[in-house]
Amino acid sequence: MKKTYLILSLVLSLTVWAPLSAQSFLMPDYVQQPDSQHIVLIVLSEKWADVREISGEVVKYNLRLYPEMELVSTRVSLPFLSNLPVLYVHYFSNKAEAMEYYHRLYKEKPDFMQMNIVESVWVFSKGNLNTLLLEESIKRYILFFQKHYLTPG
């Protein structure tokens, strides 16, 4: 009887604590790094986007409006975000530069930001992008982004 109780206790403790411990102890937390280099990820809509054409439009936009920054736009595969390649725009010197770019995209709405071609745009510090790549999920980052990037203050 004691043996059965011990095994049952062990199974219950693993099912209750394992999901919590896996996320809490294996994945690093997202941290504020306002002075570190930042990256902008542009996730394209799978319904509308011609990846090569949109990628070219982003390069033209960057050259026209940010020639002094020498931004590089690359297509990367992040299947946990999209089945299409994601546009990786780098490097911004800090959070403020990246957020200025982010807000300008939504305010000015260049052609590639219209007609639901872009599904979402995210700003990451290099360190937080590494955490995202390890985690392979945007879920935890969404709350962090809303709190530390979109909330004034």
- Per-residue pLDDT band at 25 (split at 50, 70, 90): low
Q: How large is the average pLDDT for residues 119-131? A: 97
Q: What is the mean pLDDT of residues 82-109?
A: 96
User: Quick one: average pLDDT of 54-67?
Assistant: 96
Q: How far is CA 142 from the centre of its chain?
A: 8
DSSP code per residue over the chain? -HHHHHHHHHHHHHHHHHHHHIIIIISPPP---TTS-EEEEEEEPTTT--HHHHHHHHHHHHHHH-GGGT-EEEEE--TTT-SSPEEEEEEESSHHHHHHHHHHHHHH--GGGSTT-EEEEEEEEHHHHHHHHHHT-SHHHHHHHIIIIIS--
- What is the predicted pLDDT for the residue at 137? 96
Closest by alpha carbon to 144, among 119, 130, 124, 117?
124
Identify the sign of the CA torsion 98, 104, 107, 109.
Answer: negative
Q: Which residue has the tokens 């690359």?
A: 74
**Percent of the chain predicted with pLDDT > 90:** 75
Cα(67)–Cα(70) distance, integer angstroms: 6
- Work out the number of other CB atoms within 10 angstroms of the CB of residue 144: 17
Judged against a pLDDT cut of 50, whether residue 12 lies above it is answered with no
Mean pLDDT, all residues of the chain: 86
Q: What's the rounded Cα separation, in Å, for the pair 30 and 150?
A: 15
pTM of the model: 0.81
Give 37's pLDDT tier (boundaries 50, 70, 90). very high
Q: Output 101 or 28, whichever has higher pLDDT.
A: 101
